[in-house]
Amino acid sequence: MKRRELLKSGIMLSLNTFALSGFGFYSSKISASWPNYIFHTDTIDRAIKEITGQPLHKLQTSDRVKLKVDKIVEDGSTVPVTITSELEATKTITVLSDKNPNPVIARYQMTSNIAPTISTRIKMGGSGSVIAVVETDNGYFSASKKIKVTAGGCA
């Protein structure tokens, strides 16, 4: 019995080291802080709650958060989005889409070395809203825009 367990643990150990060595050469540079839970939330309300700690209706909108995205897009699988924060001390920018099965798309951690402007391309599951949530020292501020997707895109 004991011998069996020892054997098992030995196998597990070697498997573990094998798995670890399989990791890329540069992985040490990447932090292990990928927020699993926020990307797995399945409604926009829950996602906003996870990110800001407040329900969606309490989230403040701000005209100093600029969201640039076309009103009508043909292809929902690549929707160009530009988010600019004119708020001071912008810490993070999060992009969400309310029609996606998992609304949280991306989160950007800003530093003082870059301008708080991010351009990227996102997937949209259908016509709906793109929401940008900006985290500053004074709380969370958002902007959203309704987008019409003519050919369904998110796959």
Partner 1 sequence: MSTQKHKLLARKKTGYVQVRMLLRHPMETGNRRDKVTGVKIPRFFIREVTCEHRGVVVLSCHWGWGVSRNPYLSFRLLSGEAGEVITITWADNLGKSNRITTTIK
DSSP 59: P
CB 127 within 8 A of CB 145: no
The one among 1, 2, 27, 71 contacting partner 1 by CB under 8 A: 27
Q: How far is the C-alpha of 43 from the C-alpha of 102, rounded, in Å?
A: 7
Of 52-60, 64-72, 94-102, 142-150, which segment contacts partner 1 by CB under 8 A? 94-102
Nearer to partner 1, 6 or 42 (CB): 42
Q: Is the CB of 5 or the CB of 25 nearer to partner 1?
A: 25
Verify binding: residue 56, partner 1, rule CB under 8 A: no
Contacts (Cβ under 8 Å, ≥6 apart) of 130: 67, 69, 79, 81, 95, 96, 97, 122, 124, 144, 145, 147
Task: Please report how close the Cβ of residue 77 comes to partner 1 at its closest, in angstroms.
Answer: 6
The one among 29, 57, 71, 137 contacting partner 1 by CB under 8 A = 29
